[in-house]
Structure 1
Amino acid sequence: MPCPLLRLPNELLHHIFTILATEPPSRAQLYLPPNLHLVRSGPQDKNLKHLALTSSQLLDLVRPILFSHACLELKDEPEFRTFLVRSNLNQYVTSLVAISPPTAAYADDPSWWRRVLRYLDPDRITLLAPPVFIGETLSAPVQGGFNWAFEIDFQILQLERDPRPPRDLSSLQNLEYCTNLLTARPWTSMAFNESSSLKAYHHYEYFLGRVPSFVGEWGFHLQPQAHSPDVEANPPVLPELTTILENFVSFSYIAVFPFFNHMELILNTISKMANLHQLTIQLAPDVNNHATELEQRGSLDPNDPWMELERWHIDQHPSIVEFCSRDLHVEAVREDLIRVLQDNMGTNWTHDESGIWRRNLSPVH
């Protein structure tokens, strides 16, 4: 006897399945230590996958929903492209996670996006890769003299734009002369999980090291003194960088205990985002992350990273209307952090217990 579910019209089944669809794990895992868990779904998120195994009719209906969030390991890109195009599933992809593992047998091509964006047009791209590879993808070379001390295997870059209606993929532009991923689409939101600087605190005069970070490189080159003839020459970083930064209306920065002088570079970059409306910053480990305790088994002075965290600040930024601090769960720094934010942000802001600060935009009479 046929399953009663299969008697329903396909339109109604599709509506039901879209309700069952869950957010991709790359959304929920963005603020956690970067690693391959970024693309791993929990058992409760596999209902549609299980449903697709029950019949060919349901498979045809569920597949477009499942592939709206696609995952690609860059070494498999040719097979990935062939499968999506032949199955006509590329038109449904709205978000893509691209992975370049640090232990690959051969180096991935940092221009991978030129090929992929000829047959996909996602509204969100998430790149999970080592710092140097992300820098190469964005034409922002990451200086590698002290990278070994941080032991960072992965960082996460996430770019988003406003959702768009389905379009004819055959009309996608040729990106052969596009300089980097940032200019390939009109991105309006960026999130960057820089990973942890904690391991570098073991080394003498750790604060003299340069965190492997493309956002830090941007901040360094945006400093007035970076263009002084007295400063050692560095590779040029995106001549159109200022224009790119002005396109972002939302920015999230996640890093575990970055150095204080590095935060100055990050804030220097943020200051150039002239149209930024929303800013989110997380500088302490997640509530379930015990990285600090593990590192204390070595030569790390446990006070150092917390001192760095308490000294950071955010300057006034006229365009920002919402600021989120994701560090208020740390009881040891909660009061000091709120005080620092209040001192820097002034009286025109209100905040709730979750750490979200909103600017009072009421007209003055």
Structure 2
Amino acid sequence: MSYQLLELSQSAAVAQTDIDYFEDHPLPSILGAKPWSSMRVNEGSNLAAYTKYEYFLKKPPSLMSNVQTFLNVVPANANPELMHKAFGVSAPCITSIHDVLSQLEEFSYVAIFPFYNHVDQILKCIRRMTALKKLFVKLCPEPESTVLDDEIKDAEGHFDINDPWNEMSVAYTLVAHTVRYLGIEGRLECLIVDDFKVEAVREAIVSTVSGVLVDPWLYDEHGGWNKGVIAVTANGDTSGTL
């Protein structure tokens, strides 16, 4: 995919409200224009980068990674005066981004075989989404896709087939730890792993994620993990309930 995709959604009630414009106030950024409740980011395929020497040192273009870089230097409890001093005219935009992330209830991240260190940057940004209730992750191409075979053919031997799969495996370990963190420090209740559809990696992904997401997280056998409680019956048996 030559382009990256950013999709923002809002509740029906919020959609009816107008955006306030003031003559003495700059136009709001798209992120700060509405109190968005859902965000979907599709960063496309990273496969071409695997043909490069020391590919893991490359930094793919990424909105979320750049957002994390900016927010990482924002002082704790920064007031408007400090923000303006640090970022000048960009301060309102950065403040809007921070507010948006803290209000999101659903987030979807799609990227085809991203490097695990890049996923780590994305997850640091996701950890700021303390109101998040549902996280959707997809790191592999569709089962019927030929994108991997096509890239191998185009690379003419300059491609180790193991590299993207190894990166994906480590990435899901990081995803699981972030989900566990947000289940404790935030409101996260649900993780959906779309790559459950890929039979070749299904067992490995389930094993990796379930190894981190223990009680009170429950696996639904279909690529979803839900935060619930363990109910104890009268005879001492336990069963998962949501």
Range of TM-score over shorter length: 0.7 to 0.9
Q: 1:199 and 2:48 equivalent?
A: yes
Which letter does structure 1 place at the counterpart of 2:217?
Answer: W
CA distance 1:162–1:361, change in 2 (3 Å): farther
Task: Select which of 141, 166, 169 maps to 1:285.
Answer: 141
Shift of 1:308: 0.3
CA distance 1:357–1:166, change in 2 (3 Å): closer
Q: Tell which deviates more after alignment, 284-293 or 344-353.
A: 344-353
SS of equivalent residue, structure 2 residue 124: helix
Which letter does structure 2 place at the counterpart of 1:174?
Answer: Y
Q: Which has the larger radius of gyration?
A: 1
CA distance 1:362–1:172, change in 2 (3 Å): same
Could you tell me which residue of structure 1 aligns to residue 131 of structure 2? Answer: 275
SS of equivalent residue, structure 1 residue 269: helix
Could you tell me which residue of structure 1 aligns to residue 30 of structure 2? Answer: 181
Could you tell me which residue of structure 2 aligns to residue 334 of structure 1? Answer: 202
Q: 1:257 and 2:125 equivalent?
A: no
Shift of 1:331: 2.1
SS of equivalent residue, structure 2 residue 130: coil
Could you tell me which residue of structure 2 aligns to residue 321 of structure 1? Answer: 189
CA distance in 2, matches of 1:164, 1:336: 42
Q: 1:221 and 2:76 equivalent?
A: no
Could you tell me which residue of structure 1 aligns to residue 104 of structure 2? Answer: 248
Q: 1:344 and 2:191 equivalent?
A: no
SS of equivalent residue, structure 1 residue 251: strand
Could you tell me which residue of structure 2 aligns to residue 309 of structure 1? Answer: 168
Shift of 1:346: 1.5
Which letter does structure 1 place at the counterpart of 2:219?
Answer: H
Q: 1:239 and 2:98 equivalent?
A: no
SS of equivalent residue, structure 2 residue 94: coil
Shift of 1:324: 0.1
CA distance in 2, matches of 1:264, 1:258: 10
Q: 1:156 and 2:5 equivalent?
A: yes
TM-score by length of 2: 0.76
CA distance 1:353–1:199, change in 2 (3 Å): same
Uncovered stretches (5+) of structure 2, i.e. residues with no partner: 76-86, 233-242
Shift of 1:224: 6.5
Kept in 2: contact 1:249–1:275 (CA 8 A): yes
CA distance in 2, matches of 1:205, 1:158: 32
TM-score by length of 1: 0.51
CA deviation digits over 1:114-173, x for unaligned, max 9? xxxxxxxxxxxxxxxxxxxxxxxxxxxxxxxxxxxxxxx2111100011138858xx653
Shift of 1:360: 0.5
CA distance in 1, matches of 2:205, 2:6: 26
Aligned length: 206
Quote the sequence identity (%).
30
CA distance in 1, matches of 2:198, 2:106: 24
Q: Tell which deviates more after alignment, 308-317 or 347-356.
A: 347-356
> What CA RMSD, in Å, does the superposition of the two structures yield over aligned residues?
2.9
CA distance 1:172–1:328, change in 2 (3 Å): closer
Which letter does structure 1 place at the counterpart of 2:20?
Answer: Q
Shift of 1:221: 3.4
CA distance 1:338–1:165, change in 2 (3 Å): closer
Shift of 1:288: 2.2
Uncovered stretches (5+) of structure 1, i.e. residues with no partner: 1-33, 35-152, 227-233
SS of equivalent residue, structure 2 residue 56: helix
CA deviation digits over 1:244-280, x for unaligned, max 9? 2101010000000001110110110000001100000
Q: Tell which deviates more after alignment, 172-181 or 317-326.
A: 172-181
Kept in 2: contact 1:287–1:329 (CA 8 A): yes
Shift of 1:363: 8.5
CA distance in 2, matches of 1:345, 1:324: 13
SS of equivalent residue, structure 2 residue 50: helix
